Amino acid sequence: MADVTLKQVRKNFGALEVIKGIDLVVEKGEFCVFVGPSGCGKSTLLRMIAGLEDVSSGTIEIAGSDVTHAEPSKRGIAMVFQSYALYPHLTVGENIGFGLSLARTPKAEIERRVKEVAAVLQLESLLERKPKALSGGQRQRVAIGRAIIRDPHVFLFDEPLSNLDAALRAQMRIELTDLHRKLGNTMIYVTHDQVEAMTMADKIVVLNGGRIEQVGAPMDLYERPGTPFVAGFIGSPKMNLFEGEVAKAMGCATYGIRPEHLLLSPDEGMWTGTVRHVERLGADTFVHLEVPALGLLVARTAGDRSFQPGETVMASPMPDKAFLYGTA
């Protein structure tokens, strides 16, 4: 059953059209991630769903109701922003229960629900603290708790982890995924980080220039990217993409091969290159090759393999792993 439906949704800022006719269905209980580069329209689209941006044309439905022109408070949504937006003078418990206090919910009911939410988010021992005494990850959990307590149809997350360091981001990805599993609510999440998208989503919506490039499950997009843009955006490191003579020789307009689908050898292969840079990441090593026929080629190989800048290396694509886009 659809929980959020967008039908030909458009957004103009004066003469500039930034959202260009989006059709999308988010099913009930899905964790849907909007991903794309800066300026692709993902945050604008999320704010339109939330009612924080007007819709120029098209319709937005939430839980079967047309909310295109409804106030944010009437949409059954709760939003978590990049900035935590906590009240510094209130305790954690008061911040979580603030919306219920505004709605004049009885005090005993507020206390009961705050304790329930705090238990879900492992904040029970922090309820009397002020935000300044919390870590970044704890503050983000409080902001999420403030959203949970409203029991919305849909949670909307606008790059909520971008202010955290790498280790905390990894931890919070797991916590948010666990939270989705516990609550079962529909969640729509915006990020520019395709690793977040791949590791958290049931469904990924890849946006580019105000349009949807492709929608699918994470591994579907990885294994079957429909366009060179998606091929280059999903996967880390990104896919090697080449046009010109090498693509023409392969009978296409754009030739793609993922770094993990390249075989490196000292003395045999399709392309000969010079090692320009080596990134050692423990289990993996990324080798950047200057190949005269191609330009820069990145290969992913085992972490225990040794390469040195200036070394000559030969590279070959694994059989049946290349992507061919368009006609030569």
Mind listing the pLDDT tens digit for each residue in 90-135?
999 999 998 888 888 899 999 999 999 998 888 999 999 999 999 8
Percent of the chain with pLDDT over 70: 99
Q: CB of 48 within 8 A of CB of 57? A: no
The pLDDT assigned to 137 comes to 85
CATH 3.40.50.300 given to domain 2-232: yes
Rounded-to-5 percentages of helix, strand, coil across the chain? 30, 35, 35
Residue type present at position 300: R
The pLDDT assigned to 77 comes to 93
The pLDDT assigned to 260 comes to 96
The pLDDT assigned to 283 comes to 93
The pLDDT assigned to 120 comes to 86
pLDDT category at 1 given cuts 50, 70, 90 is low
The pLDDT assigned to 150 comes to 85
Q: Is 82 exposed, middle or buried (0-12, 13-18, 19+ CB in 10 A)?
A: middle
Q: Which range has the worst mean pLDDT, 160-164, 176-180, 251-255?
A: 160-164
pLDDT in tens, 224-279: 999 999 999 999 889 999 999 999 999 999 999 999 999 999 989 999 999 999 99
The pLDDT assigned to 253 comes to 96
Look at residue 328 and tell me whether its pLDDT is greater than 80.
no
Q: What number is the average pLDDT over the span 174-194?
A: 92
| Better-predicted residue by pLDDT, 165 or 328 | 165
From-to residues of CATH 3.40.50.300 in the chain:
2-232
Which run of H or E residues covers position 242?
A: strand 240-242
Alpha carbons 120 and 117: distance in angstroms, whole number: 5
The pLDDT assigned to 293 comes to 84
Look at residue 57 and tell me whether its pLDDT is greater than 80.
yes
The pLDDT assigned to 318 comes to 95
The pLDDT assigned to 113 comes to 92
pLDDT category at 172 given cuts 50, 70, 90 is confident
Structure tokens at 3: 């929980």
CATH number belonging to the domain at 237-325, selected among 1.10.3720.10, 2.40.50.140, 3.40.1160.10, 3.40.50.300: 2.40.50.140
CB within 8 Å of 262: residues ≥ 6 apart: 240, 297, 299, 300, 301, 315, 316, 317, 318
The pLDDT assigned to 185 comes to 92
Look at residue 215 and tell me whether its pLDDT is greater than 70.
yes
What is the overall mean pLDDT for the chain?
92
Q: What number is the average pLDDT over the span 287-294?
A: 94
How many CB atoms lie under 10 A from the CB of residue 79? 23
Residue 302 forms beta bridges with which residues? 284
Look at residue 54 and tell me whether its pLDDT is greater than 70.
yes
From-to residues of CATH 2.40.50.140 in the chain:
237-325
Q: Which range has the worst mean pLDDT, 53-67, 141-155, 160-174, 298-312?
A: 160-174
